[in-house]
Amino acid sequence: MLRSISIHWIIRREDKPYAAEIKEFENAMEDESKLKVDVIKEYTELLSKATREELTNYDVIIDESGMCTEPECLATIIATRAEQVVLIGDHKQLKPVIQCQQAERLGLSKSLFERYWQSNNVVQMKTQYRMSSSIVTEFRIEQYPTLGWCKRNLGFITDENQINVALTRAKKGLFIIGNRHLLSCNQVWKKLINTYGSLGCVYDAAEFPKPFRKVNRKRSRGRSQEVDEEGFQMV
């Protein structure tokens, strides 16, 4: 299903103008001896060219559409008289910023993307390429009832969308610093803390960071050896 809409696969279809060249490059690069800088540069330029030309087949593509208000999306669609529109986004992350509370109450904070999501007229991407697998857990942002006290005293960090954004920015490492007892009054944070606690990743301030073993160097028989603070040779 995703191959039919993913630009990665579309430009490699046999009926596409650069598919044969791309395939030739990729077959050649299976031989590591041919992975030269100029070859890789030529390959990436070919991919960029194929992608740019393919995108011209679509009237309007709106990225981060979960952050756009409906008027912002509709104005673009109407102005271009688009017959084909692609909305890309995540309504579980940042929502449209609405300054007027009355407009927000009337529904302006709900994006066009979210309305389509609620109608099930969407294709969901289930693979992420940003985060290290050591960060990803079974934890998922869900809709929990949030106490009014938490809203008043913890503010935006109890917002599920804001939490989702914060957690999904990390690529190789993630540090969360805060009062775990206070955060645990919110069910989303409580589940997150419990999940990482079960993995041994939650520490009190006095326990973190873990002390490093001091390493000293000494020479033995003309060679330098690493010896820890207790005198044992480091292997």
DSSP state of 121: -
Helix segments in the chain, DSSP class H: 7-10, 19-28, 37-55, 70-80, 101-105, 112-118, 148-154, 160-167, 180-183, 187-198
Q: Residue 121: which of 97, 72, 85 has the closest Cα?
A: 85
CB 53 within 8 A of CB 17: yes
pTM tops 0.85, yes or no? no
What pLDDT does residue 231 have? 39
CA 73 → CA 47, 80, 112, 194, 216, distances in Å? 29, 11, 7, 39, 63
Give the phi and the psi of residue 155 in degrees, each rounded to 5: 65, -140
What pLDDT does residue 62 have? 84
What pLDDT does residue 192 have? 87
What pLDDT does residue 19 have? 94
For residue 26, the cross-strand partners are none
For residue 216, the cross-strand partners are 227
CB 91 within 8 A of CB 117: yes
Which residue ranges of the chain lie beneath pLDDT 70? 1-2, 128-151, 153, 210-235
What pLDDT does residue 144 have? 42
pLDDT in tens, 67-112: 899 998 888 888 878 878 888 888 878 788 888 889 888 989 899 9
What pLDDT does residue 125 have? 74
What pLDDT does residue 47 have? 94
